[in-house]
Chains A and B, each alone.
Chain A
Amino acid sequence: MPVAILAPGFLANLRESAWSHIMNKQLALYALDVARSLGASYADARLIKTVTETVETGNLFVVYAGESENIGLGIRVMVRGGWGFATARHLTAQGVVFAVTKAVEAAKASSRILNGRVKLAPEKPHQAVWQSPFNIDPFKISTDDKVNLLLECEKLMRKNKLVKQTSGLLTFTREKKLFVNTEGSDILQTFITSGCGIDAQAGSHEHFIRSWPNSFGGQYESAGWEMVKRWDLLGNSERVADEAVAVSKARQCPEMVTDVILGASQLALQIHESTGHPTELDRVFGEEENYAGASFLTPDNLGKLQYGSKIVNLTADATVPHALGTFAYDDDGVSAQRVELVKNGLFVGYLTSRETAHELGLPRSGGMMRATGPGFTPLVRMTNVSLEPGDAGSLADLIADTKKGILLDSNYSWSIDDRRHNFQFGTEIGWLIKNGKIVEPVRNPSYWGITTNFWNSCDAICGPSEHVFWGIPTCAKGQPCQAIGTGHGAAPARFKNTKVGVAKPAEDKPKGGAHSKSRSGHHHAKLPRHNRHCAGGSK
């Protein structure tokens, strides 16, 4: 036992000290030494400190203003080809030894029920310090400025007297993550993430919602306060309120087969569910069968399946500045990459880890392994899975080019089967299009399809001027369930002959009551904070 390498007294009360790269590195390296001495053939340690500030207003009150702080060390070890993982809560020498011992015992148990020892695709060791780019530190903006912005937005939304509920959310995270492994990697990354959103609900005994910049809490980026300014919550408040009222007065979306234009944020979720998840190679290999499910994109389809039309190009790119799935190195210690998933409509690539890349026979991991903080072991996760822009110009150009169809904007409802074939999405609002012009809003619009049929019906994608990297903060996967942020670049796109309005209430039913959507999306977000789980997220 190498406990004597660092005397317990030296590291005792390390948590009392300010974040110190040197001190924490010694502790993380010590964890690796202990793991080696206990028989680990590979180990990595992630020491992570996170601070999150959130301000939430509702109906002109501050309903939540707070800050949370978390720190911990996650230690992953391989012993005789089996994985084990544990978290050190007490950042002392004794705490680290305790956690590493638990991880090694778990790995030894794993090694006794394996079809073959786990092997990792090679990756050279990296030594790096990286900071996600931002212009204005959101933690330097005062809490009252944040509160006042949201309350001002609510007042503007309430200028329309038919609005019944209003709310706003601002949330900011600073995460420092040190990664070291037994192969010599030593990586310190600092992430600043910002999120902002407002919404209004209208209706009398029925509730219809409009949100900005996106539904379920708004837009999330790897950026600072400048993103809050850029999304101009104040300038969009009155429009959002007026559109909520317009939806409440609109007729039900008719059931029909028509050309659908998906707004960029809705398309981002479509990409997430029907491209991102099925290309996760751990799903393909059956490792998520019990919860998140598997995938129809089995390896025999690689390089053969016409996943989409010729204009469909989908990539996973962790190097894009300011997107939510951006980083320099993943939690396997692999550097960020841009990987093609679908090229000219053909399925050509997967999201991979060192373990799954080796299993498929790839020379290197694509660098998609991430965990939700120090309490979780990493999984294959989306980075920024995006549809490359096309040549259809602006959204206005695309609408003008559409004879008959519907524009669907801002996600409300999302569901897809466990193999990622059969999906159904609903949006906050639909706009019927006739002869190149928007003619009327409709309520409760939904569309349904089979993944490959849908992507093969894509006949137009707007250009770079409409392309936005949308952030989804709650992608759920794994057991225990982990929620993580992913990014999705998208510009509005058109899909021919799509089934719309399939989900509609029976006409003979009384329209009594209503349901309020919580800001975080699903009703389960209303669970006490410590009881929340992944149910409400995208999965």
Chain B
Amino acid sequence: MITQAKCKKIIDLAIAHAGDRVSDMLVTVFEQDQATSRFANNEMTQNVDTSSITVTLYVNARNRTAVTSTDNTSTRSIKRAVDKAIEMAAVLPHDATTLKVLKPSNWTEDSAPMFSRYDPRIAALGPDDRLARVKSIVEVARRGRLKAAGIFATYLNTFAVGNTAGLFRFDQQTNIECSITMLSASSSGWQKGFGCNLDTVDPVALAEGAAMRARKSRNPVYVRPGDYTVILEPSAVLDLVSFLYGDFTGTEHWYETSSFLKKIGKSVLGDNITIADDASHPLQTGFLFDDEGMNRKKVTIVKDGVLKSPVKSRRSVKYLGGSPTGHGAAPTASEGEFPMNIVIAGGDSSLEEMIASTKRGILLTRVWYVRDVDPNTKLLTGMSRDGTFLIENGKVTRGIKNMRFNQSVIDMLKNVVEIGQPVLAAGEETFPAVVPPMKIEGFRFSSRTKA
């Protein structure tokens, strides 16, 4: 794992080498050590332990910006990357909208509390520790005469940002990830956990949850496609709602491409929906400053269904007004900004209560291969997967064959009738976020499939 001193040295070297050939320069260093034990059919199929680093230089030479990156941290390579960026910038057209880099005072004035998301116990896990977890998962599968497939992975992430105005930010964090599919001859169940702290992910509990869903959905039956009351587990909520993240950015409002254009201050979702971006939330993961080195502020995006504010970069506020929120993604000219730490407020229903109050409905554990179909209404399609159940008279009665849905996620969030407690949910379409389970009326399934 790279040290703070080494990151500072790389950034200082790049800035010194550029000298007065550049007007401004931003340098980021991102390193990831990743170890993943992968299993299927109750055996280990892959076991990887890798490390990668990317040093990225954003060079502004007289309002012409070029970007170079390298994974070679030698003096010669860093200097070469600086020279290449300056050479590329020289031939680009002048761009009067180019921003100067962030001054240190711009972020210290409004400093969010810094706290550690680094758990030395995760950093210390080795291949035998991962093996022990995989064995415990496979043991759950064997006891239930099931087959387990999935991963147990650890991550050590380092991020540093520095610039020619003297700003320097640095942070390190750990992540742990465990995703498990349990399979019977006719069914499957899935669970996934993610967090910064070793205690947040319990592989055996996840394995038992996935095994329970596989057992309960054995010999699934067809149900007729149509509009149903559905209960979405948090991962399913996450993988659908994440399709709105881009609409919550200042750049999409500036470019007039957000689904919520000219709706700030107006009701856009159900009055029981409140969505924030909050990097400091205790259940959240990720770094507390953005790619430009600015602290990630808490932004209430939707309050009681009313659109309050998108997240904004220093670039988009020039056109939208207001203050930047610390969500910039470098280079902001192409990347704009993004809400990286979504938190959807919870309600007071438990999953069990939602099921008990449902006369006839469908419970979805996981959605799969979700894509937007109509950009103007945010109509999404996708499939259910690994645990799709029929609810009858307040009880989960049996598994059903997977179904394809065609559903507007905006309409979905207008038809939420019950909300549970939020958790840090992880899916496959996006990064983890803090979201609750939801019960929704009128969710549209359009077809069914064999498996």
Contact = CB atoms under 8 A, between A and B. Distances in A.
Nearest to B147: A286
A126 interface: no
B429 A113 contact: no
Interface stretch (A21-29, A61-69, A184-192, A463-471): A61-69
Nearest to A91: B72
B92 A144 contact: yes
B8 interface: no
A479 to B, nearest CB: 5
Nearest to B93: A62
The residue among B49, B126, B135, B402 with the most chain A CB atoms within 10 A of its own CB is B49
A323 B255 CA distance: 36
A467 to B, nearest CB: 27
A502 B446 contact: yes
A412 B51 CA distance: 35
Nearest to A509: B377
Contacts, number: 354
B359 interface: no
A416 B404 CA distance: 9
Contacts of A19: none
A506 interface: yes
Nearest to A111: B44
Interface stretch (A171-179, A287-295, A301-309, A382-390): A287-295
A212 B30 CA distance: 34
Contacts of A376: 48, 50
Contacts of A72: 52, 71
B47 A69 contact: no
Interface in B316-335: 329-331, 333-335
Given A63-B333, A143-B92, A527-B329, A515 B47 contact: no
A205 B70 contact: no
B181 interface: yes
A296 interface: yes
A418 B183 CA distance: 13
Given A15-B74, A479-B151, A424 B97 contact: no
A509 B442 CA distance: 14
Given A109-B47, A479-B151, A503-B446, A115 B53 contact: no
B233 interface: no
B49 A103 contact: yes
Contacts of A151: 93
Given A287-B45, A448-B447, A502-B406, A89 B51 contact: yes
Interface stretch (A1-9, A429-437, A530-538): A530-538
Interface stretch (A80-88, A220-228, A339-347, A361-369): A80-88
Contact of B379 (A103, A147, A503): A503
Contacts of B338: 526-528
Given A105-B127, A113-B131, A523-B245, A66 B50 contact: no
Contacts of B42: 113, 115
Contacts of A164: 256
Nearest to B129: A109
Interface residues of B, number: 122
B93 A426 contact: no
Contacts of B377: 505-506, 509, 511
B44 A287 contact: no
Interface string B363-386: 000001111111111110111011
Contacts of B140: none
A26 B444 CA distance: 60
B408 A105 contact: no
A70 B378 CA distance: 38
Contacts of B245: 523-524
Contacts of B415: none
A56 interface: yes
Interface string A91-123: 000000000001101111110111100000000
A337 interface: no
Q: Is the interface of A mostly helix, strand, loop or mixed?
A: mixed
Given A422-B449, A506-B408, A513-B258, A531 B431 contact: yes
Contacts of B374: 444, 503-505
Given A65-B66, A67-B84, A106-B47, A289 B183 contact: yes
Contacts of B257: 165, 201, 207, 514-516
A214 interface: no
A529 B378 contact: no
A181 interface: no
B383 A143 contact: no
B111 interface: no
B134 A113 contact: yes
B106 interface: no
The residue among B70, B246, B402, B448 with the most chain A CB atoms within 10 A of its own CB is B246
Given A515-B246, A517-B375, A524-B242, A290 B261 contact: no
Q: What are the 5 tightest A-B residue pairs by CB atom distance, in nearest-first order?
A: A516-B257, A66-B67, A515-B375, A63-B334, A422-B449
Interface of B: 28, 30, 34-54, 56, 65-72, 74, 76-77, 81, 84-85, 88-89, 91-93, 95, 97, 126-128, 130-131, 134-135, 138, 147, 149-151, 153, 159, 179-181, 183, 188, 190, 242-243, 245-247, 249, 252, 255-261, 263, 291, 329-331, 333-336, 338, 340, 368-379, 381-383, 385-386, 402, 404, 406, 408, 411, 428-431, 446-451
13 contacts: A58-B334, A66-B69, A67-B88, A89-B51, A103-B49, A110-B37, A112-B135, A143-B92, A201-B257, A286-B40, A290-B190, A417-B368, A503-B379
Given A479-B179, A515-B247, A529-B56, 15 more contacts: A69-B77, A87-B51, A106-B48, A114-B44, A289-B183, A415-B383, A417-B383, A417-B404, A422-B402, A446-B381, A480-B48, A480-B153, A528-B340, A530-B159, A535-B429
